[in-house]
């Protein structure tokens, strides 16, 4: 059983900016330290047999220059790979393209810090939903990895769907949305705009109506 508050507090979240050739972009960075060796975390993130145990089934050629496809989600091309420290890939979904960069670091006090940065062009989705649109999904992935690395438990899609629809699942997504809202405000977003975007994101993930009062 996952401790929702403990997992939410174990993750660091940051929102930033980048300038790409095609224009302004936003960055969403999420990180967590796991009680596991760097080689084990790397294998969990790159081995096609292990990725479905905590994330989604994946197909394709998981090596430099190869293309991958996550079942029912994004696909893309692996652009950089430096095992067991980092890799970068395109993240192509719904006709849009963004980028992910994964970085692993051995912590001095033990364990491995797993950091993921998602870079996307500023668009209507960002304006409407803010960083939580992708941030909540990554929070769920980081939680899945925490469970897998600590217990060896393999993800059961039906169990995951039932949990996401439960009170605990909705609490987790609501808390994640709140934390991404805080990160957005810390990055300079107007507080009212950040909260409105977070309300829409929370509603989308938890299938509830947003609070029209703005509270």
| Cα–Cα distance measured from residue 2 to residue 6, given in angstroms and rounded to the nearest whole number | 8
In whole angstroms, how large is the CA radius of gyration of the chain? 17
Residue 199 has pLDDT above 70, yes or no: yes
What is the full DSSP assignment across 73-133?
S-EEEEEEEETTTEEEEEEEETTEEEEEEEEEEE-TTSSEEEEEEEEEE--HHHHHHTTHH
Q: What pLDDT shows up at residue 214?
A: 40
| Cα–Cα distance measured from residue 26 to residue 20, given in angstroms and rounded to the nearest whole number | 10
Q: What pLDDT shows up at residue 209?
A: 46
Q: What pLDDT shows up at residue 1?
A: 63
**Do residues 104 and 112 touch, judged by C-beta distance below 8 A?**
yes
The string of pLDDT tens digits covering residues 139-156 is 999 999 999 999 988 888
Q: Which of 134-138, 155-159, 192-196 has the lowest mean pLDDT?
A: 155-159
Q: What is the mean pLDDT of residues 88-93?
A: 97
Q: What is the mean pLDDT of residues 195-212?
A: 82
Q: What pLDDT shows up at residue 62?
A: 95
Q: What pLDDT shows up at residue 20?
A: 81
Average pLDDT, the chain: 93
What is this structure's pTM? 0.93
How many CB atoms are closer than 10 A to CB 200? 17
């Amino acid at each position: 059983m996952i401790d929702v508050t403990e997992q939410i507090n174990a993750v660091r979240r940051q929102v930033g900016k980048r300038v790409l050739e095609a224009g302004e972009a936003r960055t969403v960075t999420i990180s967590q330290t796991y009680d596991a060796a760097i080689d084990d975390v790397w294998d969990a993130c790159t081995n096609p047999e292990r990725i479905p145990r905590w994330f989604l089934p994946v197909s394709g050629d998981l090596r430099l220059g190869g293309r991958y496809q996550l079942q029912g989600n994004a696909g893309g091309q692996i652009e950089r790979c430096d095992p067991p420290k980092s890799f970068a890939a395109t993240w192509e979904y719904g006709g849009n393209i963004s980028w992910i960069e994964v970085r692993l670091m051995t912590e001095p006090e033990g364990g491995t810090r797993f950091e993921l940065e998602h870079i996307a062009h500023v668009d209507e989705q960002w304006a409407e939903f803010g960083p939580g649109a992708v941030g909540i999904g990554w929070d769920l992935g980081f939680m899945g990895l925490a469970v897998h690395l600590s217990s060896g438990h393999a993800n059961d899609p039906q169990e995951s769907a039932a949990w996401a629809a439960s009170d605990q699942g909705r609490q987790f997504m609501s808390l994640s949305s709140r934390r991404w809202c805080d990160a957005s405000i810390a990055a300079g977003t107007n507080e009212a705009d950040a909260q409105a975007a977070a309300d829409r994101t929370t509603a989308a993930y938890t299938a509830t109506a947003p609070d029209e009062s703005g509270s």
